[in-house]
Structure 1
Amino acid sequence: MASSIMTPIGILSFPQLFVPKTNQKYKEQGPRYSAVLIFDEAAVASQQYEALKQEVYQAIVDTWGAAKAQDANFVNSLSLPFEDCSSKSWGGMERGVKFVSAWTRGEDDKGNPEPRPGIVDLRSQDIVMPERVFAGQYARFMVRPYGYTKGSGGVNLGLDHVQIVKEDCERIDGRQSADRAFKNADNSQMAALGIDPNAQTAAGQMNGASGKATPPAGGLPF
């Protein structure tokens, strides 16, 4: 029986991990948590990638039997989770060779919420702020390959957990971080408004030498 397995590290794309969303192509599946992981040549050549392929193969055996799993023509007729990056024009695909999509349901058949995938950082600490997760970061998934027989059949990757292993990365979703967006802004209007763009904007003025807030002239009130 196919087991849960960790993917190689890849580039995160289309993360929908905090609030489930319905895929318009598969409306019948309802809202779901999902993400894409892009693998470069090194990842595709890794033992982790080979182990992932082995678990996908095991899911084929579990669903259709060993004889079918050894029939190359049959296997090639299935919809498998490994896709060529060259088949898509999405941002970041030029940096990879293969990509996989993984997802899990956001609701059960009665419309009750399902638990979302766990999301942790490099130290395995929970990430609870959605703004900390975006397309372009390096990540790896814990997934569960399973076969399905609807249509022509295939193997999906159930998404259990996500680990963001490098957060400070360039975004590939077309958005800029706020600090980059305003880094080279034209501040010519500020003088007329009496604003010094180099002034400290925090509530307490900072002492540049020590990095400590300067106490009030009358001393601390406690």
Structure 2
Amino acid sequence: MTTMPNTTALNTVTTVDSVVSYLSTNGIDNKAIWAHLDRTDRIKVKKLLSELDAIDAEIFDKDAHKPLSNKQFQADKSGRKGKKFEELTTELLQGLTCFKAKHNVFTDVNQIDVLVTLQPNASIVPSIRKWGDRIICECKFHDKGVSVDWVEKLATILGNNSASVGILISKKGIARKGPGANTTHLLHLLAVQGKFIISLSRNDLEDCVNGSGLLELLVDRYVEVGMGIPQFMR
């Protein structure tokens, strides 16, 4: 027989801290809370990852791809990769019950790949309470690491849209050598100024599906960017 938690106390809850206290006293642990917030359809996400990798692996064949030229083929391939990557990202973010994700949003001054609106239950997680009411996500599925230019562009979009948290999802993430050092330094400088940009790679997304989940990783990266811990910001 399943024992239900006492709900009498919940009727008097008026603050987020009271809700957290209620969860704790009724034996609802962190694992259960994360599971409630993350309802990702992992089978669908794995399918989208496979489809994305299949597009990325396509090679131009002048006979098989007639009448397209190599240039036309690459442009078409790039467009299909971008759309699939945005679809994958939206699916992952929408799988979090504390997020509401919309892709390909146009404002007066910007085109946003994915706009995330935080839902009321986001306040269960202490770090997320500081994120405001929106997150802006940009997708870059290119064969290079995250550049300073990409970060600066997203920082500008955050400023234009009164947002303090952005997610930059790319194919390779931040390089661990060379220009990657400049990128991680910039991320920390922006965080000091109140603009937090979280970098995720394609492999990070796969790890989220096979591991603890996207929301935990986002919270961890948010803290690490704010503290300027480069080995964990990539």
> Going by fraction, where is strand more abundant, 1 or 2?
1
**TM-score under structure 1 length normalisation:** 0.25
> Going by fraction, where is helix more abundant, 1 or 2?
2
Does 1 or 2 have the higher relative contact order (CA < 8 Å, sep 6+)?
Answer: 1
